[in-house]
Amino acid sequence: MLVANGHYFNYLVSKTLLKRGENFVISPHYFESWSDEKKNVISKYFFSAILNSDNDEESENFYLL
């Protein structure tokens, strides 16, 4: 169970979506507003989750909102 408030709660929801979500959509306009670093970090984390990697990495770039 998640016990958090505010921005940290949103971060945990974002990270959970990246780690457990099988299908989600990000607006191309919103995606293009991200830095190359954020795009790379999120892609790497998402694909490692698909491969069932037990990745507990933390990054401010996981914040999707």
pLDDT digits (tens, 9 = 90+) for 22-63: 888 899 999 999 999 999 999 999 888 888 777 788 999 998
Q: Which one has a higher pLDDT value, 58 or 4?
A: 58
Q: Which domain holds residue 34?
A: 6-62
- 1 domain-assigned: no
Please report which confidence band the pLDDT of residue 2 belongs to, taking 50, 70 and 90 as the band edges: low
pTM of the entire predicted model = 0.76
> What is the pLDDT at residue 41?
94
Structural domains counted in the chain: 1
> What are the φ and ψ backbone dihedral angles of 25, each rounded to 5 degrees?
-120, 140
Helix (H, G, I), strand (E, B) or coil at 34: coil
Contact predicate 37/59, CB 8 Å? no
- 24 domain-assigned: yes
- 12 domain-assigned: yes
- 45 domain-assigned: yes
